[in-house]
A and B are shown apart, each in its own frame.
Chain A
Amino acid sequence: AQSVTQLDSQVPVFEEAPVELRCNYSSSVSVYLFWYVQYPNQGLQLLLKYLSGSTLVESINGFEAEFNKSQTSFHLRKPSVHISDTAEYFCAVTPNRGDAGNMLTFGGGTRLMVKP
């Protein structure tokens, strides 16, 4: 079984400041890791994913996350946030076995609030 912990339920930050949203996971098997973003009254959108290879993954809108296997973490960072980044962010994992299917285990979410 897997579990995901997002250590901060809310993160207030001023516009143009850097931000880090923390994610730690626990699993008895190797996993793939994801960050999803949810804007109000919408579904989830994939922000970035780690499947294999380089442990640093980047999104097209300036977010990045680094997979740290020894610390079982996948923290999300952005060097300079915009008002439009205000949303809820979810970290998720799924076993990387081919027969495991697509069952995602989510963290509790972090509400990022960007203030002007």
Chain B
Amino acid sequence: KAGVTQTPRYLIKTRGQQVTLSCSPISGHRSVSWYQQTPGQGLQFLFEYFSETQRNKGNFPGRFSGRQFSNSRSEMNVSTLELGDSALYLCASSSFGPSTREQFFGPGTRLTVL
């Protein structure tokens, strides 16, 4: 089974621009979560989508948004980029069975904001 894939792997943007990151979950997984990883703040939960609905949301400003498509693929968007948005953005998928709760992570998209 193919793992979680994220595209692109690397991105360089300038302040004020917007960016869209994509995540394809493991086949059959309906839950997709996004995390931001920075040296200063560590790993922080952004949001989770399940069956095209946002189920959970972390404490991030409204500039961060996401969506999930009917095939479970997910995108996250960051508008009006700030320098502090430079980070590794990780996507994780899960089958969310009652006895699993294991999340499988992709390799991440490294975003650099100049």
Residues on A facing B (Cβ under 8 Å): 32, 34, 36, 41-46, 49, 51, 90, 92, 94, 96, 98, 100-109
When distances are taken between beta carbons in the complex, the residues of chain B under 8 Å from A104 are 33, 35, 43, 45, 92, 103
A14 CB, min distance to chain B CBs, angstroms: 27
Q: Evaluate contact between B42 and A106: CB separation under 8 angstroms.
A: yes
Q: Tell which of A46, A96, A103 touches B48, judged by Cβ atoms closer than 8 Å.
A: A103
Q: Tell which of A32, A45, A103 touches B45, judged by Cβ atoms closer than 8 Å.
A: A103
Q: Evaluate contact between B48 and A101: CB separation under 8 angstroms.
A: yes
User: Which DSSP category, helix, strand, loop or mixed, fits chain B's interface?
Assistant: strand
Alpha-carbon distance A49/B35, docked complex (angstroms): 19
Alpha-carbon distance A108/B38, docked complex (angstroms): 10
Alpha-carbon distance A34/B96, docked complex (angstroms): 15
Q: Tell which of B55, B99, B105 touches A44, judged by Cβ atoms closer than 8 Å.
A: B105
Alpha-carbon distance A59/B11, docked complex (angstroms): 35
Alpha-carbon distance A44/B37, docked complex (angstroms): 11
A31 CB, min distance to chain B CBs, angstroms: 10
Alpha-carbon distance A101/B107, docked complex (angstroms): 22
Alpha-carbon distance A109/B38, docked complex (angstroms): 12
Q: Evaluate contact between A101 and B56: CB separation under 8 angstroms.
A: yes
Can you list the 3 inter-chain pairs with the closest CB atoms, starting with the nearest? A43-B105, A106-B43, A44-B105
